[in-house]
Amino acid sequence: MPLVYCGACSHGPGITARADRADPAKRDALYTALRRMGDDIRATRPDALVVVAAEHFANFFMNNMPAFAIGMADFYEGPIEDEAFLKIRRTRVPGNKALSRRLIEQVMQTVDVAYAEEWKFDHGISVPLHFLTPGYDLPIIPANINCQGPPLAPLARAWAFGEALRAAADAVPERIALVATGGISHWPATPDSGKINEAWDREFLARWAANDRAALLSYSDAEIYRDGGQGGFEIRTFIAAAAAARGAKGTIEFCEPMPIFAVSCTVARMAVAA
């Protein structure tokens, strides 16, 4: 089936961990937007949700770092973080090993993706799922782009990964939804946490909504680091979603810089036909 849903959202751990320190009105507006995204995903009656994440050393480390990986298990566990810190209860999340395998075989036609029969979710997936599928009743297929340990795959390869995910979703009979999660500019877990380059974020999101491939791929990593910080490397997940949308245009449903959450909190959707 053609991809039924394609979107992107933030995943900063502060969104739940530091909820009580945020402006209540802005926080609640973000939560509402995220929950509405969950409603929109469910409305497309997906059989599985592919989450394109940028994990933070829950599974992959510099001893054996895949540029791209996809989970292939019937269940996953998360969050890996201290439950009291993240304020999300650790739970088992359903997967679909057989479906994962078929998707991976398709992705491998064009991208040499790693697969993983074990996968622990960190906040990069657990925070979005806390709002999108709070009942943990939709099979999740985690995918990862290394955005933490350089050298990182070039942006054009993130695009190729998104294209490959789209081709794979279209090739299976199941109804597949896809959500990318990442930050735009941010300097997470550093003394600069809370710094946000709003202008850079809005320019990036304009390019994303226009699904302007050339503009999205025009950033160098040096520019991203300078203007968007270490966390800015996670634009790779947004870029993969844009590619997966295959030319569809996007809508920025929510974007609010929230320093206590360390990012421009974003909820966005591509108009793929469902």
Partner 1 sequence: MSLYYVQKLIYELNRDPRTRARYAAERDAVLAEYELTAEERAALVAPDIGLLYVLGVNGQLLMHFAALHRIEWPDYLERMREGLRKHGPVREGVYAATGYEGVP
Positions that interact with partner 1 (CB under 8 A): 17-18, 56-59, 61-63, 80-82, 85, 120, 148-150, 187-195, 225, 229-230, 259-260
Are β-strands 68-71 and 114-116 bridged in parallel, bridged antiparallel, or unpaired? Answer: parallel
Task: Report the residue number, 38 or 232, with the smaller CB distance to partner 1.
Answer: 232
Q: CB neighbours of 40 closer than 8 A, spacing ≥ 6? A: 5, 7, 269
What letter would DSSP give residue 195? -
CB 42 within 8 A of CB 132: no
CB of 224 to partner 1, least distance (A): 11
Euclidean distance between CA atoms 140 and 271, whole angstroms: 21
* Of 34, 27, 28, 123, nearest in space to 82 by CA: 123
Task: Report the residue number, 63 or 112, with the smaller CB distance to partner 1.
Answer: 63
CB of 268 to partner 1, least distance (A): 23
Task: Report the residue number, 75 or 225, with the smaller CB distance to partner 1.
Answer: 225
Euclidean distance between CA atoms 220 and 74, whole angstroms: 38
Residue type, position 197, single letter:
N
CB of 53 to partner 1, least distance (A): 13
CB of 127 to partner 1, least distance (A): 14
CB of 144 to partner 1, least distance (A): 13
Task: Report the residue number, 57 or 110, with the smaller CB distance to partner 1.
Answer: 57
Backbone angles phi, psi at 156, to 5 degrees: -65, -30
Task: Report the residue number, 55 or 163, with the smaller CB distance to partner 1.
Answer: 55
Euclidean distance between CA atoms 262 and 225, whole angstroms: 16
Element (H, E) at 69: strand 68-71
